[in-house]
Amino acid sequence: MTLDRRKFVRYSLTAGAGAVLGVERLAARPAPPLGVRGAMFFETASRNRVICRLCPNECVLREGERGICRVRENRDGRLVTLVYGTPCSANVDPVEKKPLFHYHPGTTAFSIATAGCNMSCRFCQNWEISQQGPEKIRSANLPPAAVVQLARKRGCTSVAHTYSEPVVFYEYMLDCAKAGRRAGIPSVMISNGYIQEAPMRKLCRSLGAVKIDLKAFTDKFYREICGGTLAPVLHTLEVIKDEGLWLEIVVLLIPGLNDTPAEIRAMTRWIANKLGTRVPLHFSRFFPTYRLRNIPPTPRATLERAWRTAREAGLEYVYVGNLMSPSRHTRCPGCGTELIHREGFSAQITGLKGNRCRNCGREIPGVF
């Protein structure tokens, strides 16, 4: 017996904002039917193989094989997605939790995810769904039109594709974004940015905003800790900038792995030079989790130093997350007036008039 849509959404939304339906608590339940749909961005090769061109992994798959993501499969010489319209988590979250600080602050996002990811980060907070195939996780039948309908019913301003990695449920995300745009409820993508240029550009035309997790600024970290590479993520950031889509960046600082002053300096200078000084940058505090339980939480001093380094690089909107800090508020870079006050994940607009500082009239980047 599979979980129907109404029970699934009620269960998810009462489990707590941001809660994810985990493998452990659901292991005894029957596996759900797969959401099989033809996939985009692949090539047919010899001997009935397919080459997935969605992300930089470019998996070459024989008949019946799946990609690194666990949710894209070669069936009869064609690539299919196994998770179309079958989210394993659905919650109402503050948009600040994504975090998006300059995109409809103070509103909520109807947040969905399916199984799968195209990376294998050793510090993943949602590894129960990101590192599993769809057969092992309870899910619901929730097509794009239903997602938009539920978002409106719950009073959400946007739909967030989040928790696992939305790149791997690309077709579902794209159709949700198109349906939401028509209904006035835009989609936001909360992603690792590990995607090829063509699908990213196509997606940009339907999304409202993107938040990219920039895991580090060294290829060594990406290869050893995440199972990926740095260059494609940097290129994705430049593509989003080129498309004019609202963008924010998060860097989780992990002690001893990606937090040296030299790396932070190089990263923030690259952001300022390539993406501009007005892109919001969030430094987030690490807590032991998944396969990095032996590393202590990020010291406050490390986060404060990173904040100063980013400001010295010219970045105007720098925030510290997972830590009570004055830098969680948005201030006008011109006159210093507090524009948005934040307590936890709640936000109150205090000094904005439209998209300008109420005090000095300076234009503030974002979607308000």
> Please, what is the average pLDDT of the chain?
92
Residue 35 binned pLDDT confidence (cut-offs 50, 70, 90):
confident
pTM > 0.95: yes or no? no
Average pLDDT over residues 222-230: 98
Residue pair 187/161 in contact (Cβ under 8 Å)? The answer is yes
Residue 183 to residues 37, 131, 159, 172, 186, Cα–Cα distance (Å): 24, 33, 11, 17, 8
Question: For position 324, what pLDDT does the model report?
Answer: 86
Please tell me the predicted confidence (pLDDT) of residue 23.
28
DSSP string, 290-325: TT-TTSPPPPHHHHHHHHHHHHHTT-S-EEEESS--
Does the pLDDT at position 44 exceed 60? yes
Residue 31 has pLDDT above 70, yes or no: no
As a whole-number percent, the residues of the chain with pLDDT over 70 amount to: 91
| Contact of 130 with 88, CB cutoff 8 Å | no
219 band by pLDDT with thresholds 50, 70 and 90: very high
pLDDT band for 141, please (50, 70, 90 cuts).
very high
Which pLDDT belongs to residue 14? 36
- Write out 103-150 in H/E/C secondary structure: ECCCCEEEEEECCCCCCCCCCCCCHHHHCCCHHHCCCCCCCHHHHHHH
pLDDT (tens digit, 9 = 90+) per residue, 104-123? 999 999 999 999 999 999 99
- % of the chain surpassing 90 pLDDT: 88
CA distance 31 to 1: 9
What is the distance between the alpha carbons of residues 352 and 359, in angstroms, rounded to a whole number? 8
